[in-house]
C-alpha cells in the first residue's frame, strides 16, 4: 500500500522543520559551551551527556522505546556511531572553547566533503564531476578559514577541525542505517552514555587544553543545564529529521548553523570574521549546497512522482 500524498508531504515538512529546530538548538548549545569557558572541554562534554541521559531516562518512564519491529544485529553500527560522534563532539567543543564560534561551526560543517571522500575510498563509489568540483571548492574554503595570517587559529585548532568534520561524516553515514535496528531514542541514549563514560574518564587524564576538572560555579550550573537542554533537543530533532525526510532534502538546511554561529559568537564577544575567513565560510556553504543539490532534486522529484500516483 503506497503512502498517501498528504502523508508524504507531512513527513517531509516535519523533517524540514525538525532540521531547522535542530540547527538552532545545536547553535544555542555551542553558545553555552562558549559561556562555560572556565570548564575544560571534557568536563563540559561530561555534564552535557549526563543531563541528556537524565532527560531521556525521564522520557522513557512515560514512553519506553519500541523495539518490537526492529531488526537484530545493529550493535556494532550503534557503537561505531557513538564513538565517531563522540570524537566529533570532543573536537568541536575544543575548538569552540578556543576560537571564534562561527569558525568552529564552519569546520564542523565540512562533513559533506569527507563523506564524499570516504564514499570514494571505502565504498568505491563513482562521483559526478560536479561533486568533485564542489569538494575542491570546499577544501579551498577550509584553507581560507585556516588562514595562516590569522593569529586566532593554531595547528591544534586546524587538526581538531579536520578530525571533527571527518568523524561527523562517519557518524552521519552510520546513522542512516541505524533506523532499521533501533528506536531513535535508543540511538541517542547510547551516544549519551558512551560520552558520559569517555568524558568522565578523559577529564582526569592529562591531555593539554582538553582535560581537567573544576567545580562549577552557580552561573556555570545554569549554563550546564541549558547546555544539556539544547544539546538533547538538537540530538532528538536531528535524528528525527533524518528519519522523517530524505537526507538530500534536509541536509542543506543544517548549514544555517554557520550563520547562527557567527551571530551568537559576536553576541558572546567574538570579532567579526575577516575577509579571508568569511570567504572560506561562504565557499564551504556553496560546496555543501552543490554536493546536496543533486540528491535534493532526486528526492524532490521522487516525492512529486509518488504523490501524483
Q: Are 265 and 274 in contact (CB under 8 A)?
A: no
What is d(CA 35, CA 47) in angstroms, rounded to the nearest whole number? Answer: 14
The mean predicted confidence, pLDDT, of the chain is 81
Residue 274 is predicted with a pLDDT of: 81
What is d(CA 245, CA 187) in angstroms, rounded to the nearest whole number? Answer: 18
Residue 124 is predicted with a pLDDT of: 66
Q: Are 183 and 171 in contact (CB under 8 A)?
A: no
What is d(CA 261, CA 280) in angstroms, rounded to the nearest whole number? Answer: 14
What is d(CA 246, CA 141) in angstroms, rounded to the nearest whole number? Answer: 27
Handedness of CA 64, 70, 75, 77 (dihedral sign): negative
Q: Looking at residue 206, what DSSP letter applies?
A: -
Q: What percent of the chain has pLDDT over 90?
A: 13
C-alpha grid cell, residue 144 = 581560507
Residue 6 is predicted with a pLDDT of: 46
- Band of residue 183 on the pLDDT scale cut at 50, 70, 90: confident
Q: Each residue of 42-51: pLDDT tens digit? A: 999 999 899 8
What is d(CA 257, CA 23) in angstroms, rounded to the nearest whole number? Answer: 5
Residue 91 is predicted with a pLDDT of: 92
Residue 268: phi, psi to the nearest 5? -90, 0
Amino acid at each position: 500500500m503506497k503512502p498517501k500524498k498528504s502523508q508524504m508531504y507531512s513527513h517531509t515538512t516535519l523533517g524540514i522543520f525538525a532540521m531547522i529546530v535542530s540547527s538552532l538548538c545545536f547553535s544555542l548549545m555551542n553558545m553555552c559551551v562558549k559561556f562555560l569557558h572556565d570548564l575544560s572541554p571534557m568536563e563540559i562534554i561530561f555534564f552535557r551527556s549526563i543531563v541528556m541521559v537524565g532527560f531521556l531516562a525521564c522520557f522513557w518512564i512515560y514512553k519506553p522505546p519500541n523495539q518490537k519491529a526492529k531488526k537484530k544485529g545493529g550493535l556494532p553500527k550503534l557503537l561505531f556511531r557513538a564513538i565517531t560522534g563522540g570524537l566529533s563532539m570532543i573536537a568541536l567543543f575544543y575548538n569552540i572553547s578556543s576560537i571564534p564560534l562561527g569558525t568552529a561551526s564552519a569546520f564542523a560543517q565540512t562533513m559533506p566533503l569527507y563523506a564524499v571522500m570516504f564514499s570514494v575510498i571505502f565504498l568505491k563509489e563513482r562521483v559526478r564531476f560536479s561533486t568533485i568540483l564542489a569538494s575542491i571548492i570546499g577544501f579551498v574554503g577550509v584553507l581560507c578559514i585556516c588562514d595562516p595570517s590569522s593569529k586566532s587559529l593554531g595547528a591544534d585548532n586546524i587538526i581538531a577541525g579536520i578530525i571533527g568534520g571527518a568523524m561527523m561524516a562517519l557518524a552521519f553515514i552510520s546513522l542512516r542505517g541505524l533506523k532499521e535496528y533501533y528506536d531513535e531514542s535508543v540511538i541517542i541514549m547510547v551516544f549519551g552514555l558512551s560520552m558520559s563514560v569517555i568524558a568522565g574518564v578523559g577529564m582526569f587524564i592529562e591531555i593539554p587544553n582538553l582535560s581537567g576538572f573544576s567545580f562549577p560555579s552557580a552561573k556555570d550550573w545554569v549554563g550546564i543545564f541549558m547546555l544539556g537542554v539544547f544539546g538533547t533537543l538538537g540530538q532528538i530533532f536531528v535524528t528525527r529529521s533524518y528519519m522523517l525526510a530524505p537526507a538530500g532534502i534536509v541536509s542543506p538546511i543544517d548549514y544555517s548553523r554557520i550563520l547562527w554561529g557567527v551571530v551568537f559568537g559576536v553576541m558572546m564577544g567574538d570579532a567579526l570574521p575577516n575577509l579571508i575567513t568569511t570567504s572560506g565560510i561562504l565557499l564551504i556553504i556553496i560546496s555543501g549546497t552543490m554536493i546536496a543539490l543533486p540528491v535534493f532534486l532526486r528526492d524532490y522529484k521522487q516525492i512529486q512522482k509518488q504523490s501524483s500516483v
